A and B are shown apart, each in its own frame.
Chain A
Amino acid sequence: MDLNYGFFEYCMVAALIFYAVSTFLTFFRVRRFGSLLLMAGAGINLVALISLGYIGGKWYLFPTLDELRLIPAVMALFAYPLIRGRGRGEAIAVLGSLLIVTCIAVIVQTDPPVPNIKGKSLVASLFFLSEAISAALFLLAGTVAFAALLTDSFFMESLNDLVLWGFVVFTLCQIFGALWAFIGWSYPFSWSTRHLLSASIWCFYGAAIHLRYVGMNTKSKALIIMSGVTPVIFMVYHHEIIELLGVLT
């Protein structure tokens, strides 16, 4: 039996509903049930992605790594320990950002994916997987920094961990990307928007992980980490931003 694109879309809407209810429950301090719903939402989100790879009676890995829809699932998985063990403000901020990212994933219309020549190599899949994980961690770090600024309580432990592991995974992602670009296009680095944005993000978070070693107040650190979200959003939603600008102009 073939799973069609409609099944995927219904699953994404269901995941959004689960995330929204989880946020609502966490807001009213029903944390245990809220976190269970969050995990359920992540599960449905992952099922939706797996269903994308089921085409013509066969399952392909590459189409499942749809970055726009993978990021909410990864964010939900990382948000689980954050909302279980941290402050309410931090938990709400994290779930709020998850809701925004999932809403974009549901609203943005894309063609059903098909296996293609670019996905022939395993490094392409590893690249998209590691990029989605690191982007999710960077977005969560930006959100936690934003919550820190708003509530005047500082979650430096979460911030440091999110930025550090985001940076480590993003570095691996850059290696997979360089390898993929070389075997596919013959150059490990291309002078394109995508590659320059990746280099910009890498340099930014490279600076961010050194913040803990310099004498700077926590508010400034939070502000710097929060500003890192801009190139990440530009990288992940580049296509959508350009389309939106085209419509507006």
Chain B
Amino acid sequence: MSRRGSWFFLSQLKPGLYLLLAASVLLFAGAIIVDLNSDNFRTLNFMLLFEWLALYRDRPILYVWMFVLFAVLLTLAINTCLCTWTYIKNTKQSGITIKRAAIILFHLSFLLFLSAHLVYECTGSSETIILKKGAVSQMSGEQLSLEPVMLRRMQLDVAGKKIRMGTRASIIIKDFAGEIATIYPESMKPVFSMGYSFHVGMNEKGLSDEQIRVIIRRSPAIYIFIVGAAGIVLAFLLFMFSSRPFRIELSKKLS
């Protein structure tokens, strides 16, 4: 197939459909692979993809699956770009409607999500540290020191039973430039500060009352995810508004 021919082929809807089906099958197979190798994949949640691939170089099945998945998703992203561009051109000629705007926004948000995933897997840093109340701990690789000054285990009393509801902490953080900040993270309530997000770990096993497990993460992908998510929510609202039953209901209410 000529170069122009392959671009033309990729700008069609049908290859996009087959690519989505192929991605679905690969992800389903991946779910089974992950089920059988859950410990190997759990480490990938806290590592960059390249580091992880280097660690598991003796497991070709994991390599091949990951490579094929990324190849399919990359081709899908190119296909979505080309199809969306063609759709925008056609829309410009035939006139824009709310439904079409929602469809365009949805596809652009999908592209943002895919790129966010790529950025997320290839950049950023994360570290899990066990902090002790009153002691200063250093984050390795990053010049950031942390000192928890207050820890409080939260409990809920339900019918006489105490249920663990996580930990609330007050931590003083200091970066390499000497900038100091006090943060108040809590289980299920992370805090953003100095370009990092600070999460209190859900797993409290093996920790004393004076200790807390904190996950510190820095990833530019989070911001792309937020923009993508906002785009999808907006597209959803526009789509809802453009649907006929909704408009009929709205006009009834307004009249």
Contacts and interface: CB of A to CB of B under 8 A. Distances in A.
Interface of A: 2, 55-58, 114-118, 120-121, 168, 171-172, 175, 178-179, 182-193, 196-197, 199-201, 203-204, 206-207, 210-211, 213-214, 224, 230-231, 234, 242
Given A120-B188, A175-B232, A191 B42 contact: yes
A200 B27 CA distance: 5
Contact of A117 (B126, B202, B217): B202
Contacts of B28: 196-197, 200, 230-231, 234
A183 B25 CA distance: 29
A115 B163 contact: yes
A116 B20 contact: no
B34 A193 contact: yes
Nearest to A121: B188
A66 B31 CA distance: 23
Interface stretch (B10-18, B138-146, B175-183): B10-18
B202 A184 contact: yes
B117 A172 contact: no
B236 A168 contact: yes
A58 B157 CA distance: 11
A186 B129 CA distance: 13
Interface string B44-59: 1110000000000000
Contacts of B45: 185, 187, 190-191
B31 A203 contact: no
B24 interface: yes
Nearest to A123: B188
Contacts of A121: 188-189
Contacts of B115: none
A192 B222 contact: no
Nearest to B102: A168
B170 interface: no
A189 B117 contact: yes
Contact of A178 (B13, B17, B158, B229): B229
B166 interface: yes
Contacts of A234: 28, 31
Contact of B30 (A114, A118, A196, A230): A196
B197 interface: yes
Most buried by B among A55, A206, A213, A214: A206
Contacts of B190: 182-183, 186
Interface string B182-210: 00000111100000010100100000000
Contacts of B160: 56
A201 B217 CA distance: 28
Contacts of A192: 34, 38, 41-42
Chain B: interface size category: 35 or more
B38 A193 contact: yes
Nearest to A187: B45
Most buried by B among A179, A186, A192, A193: A186
B21 A204 contact: yes
Contact of A207 (B17, B32, B38, B46): B17
B31 A172 contact: no
Most buried by A among B46, B164, B199: B199
Contacts of A172: 232-233, 236
27 contacts: A56-B159, A57-B159, A115-B163, A117-B188, A117-B202, A175-B233, A178-B229, A182-B190, A182-B222, A182-B225, A186-B197, A186-B199, A187-B217, A190-B45, A193-B35, A196-B34, A197-B28, A200-B24, A203-B20, A203-B21, A203-B23, A204-B20, A207-B17, A207-B21, A210-B20, A214-B14, A234-B28
A206 B20 contact: yes
A213 B113 CA distance: 24
Contact of B120 (A55, A188, A210): A188
B29 to A, nearest CB: 9
Nearest to A124: B188
Contact of A55 (B42, B159, B232, B239): B159
Given A121-B188, A185-B199, A179 B229 contact: yes
A46 B8 CA distance: 52
Contacts of A242: 35
A114 B163 contact: yes
B45 to A, nearest CB: 5
Contacts of B24: 200-201, 203-204, 207, 231
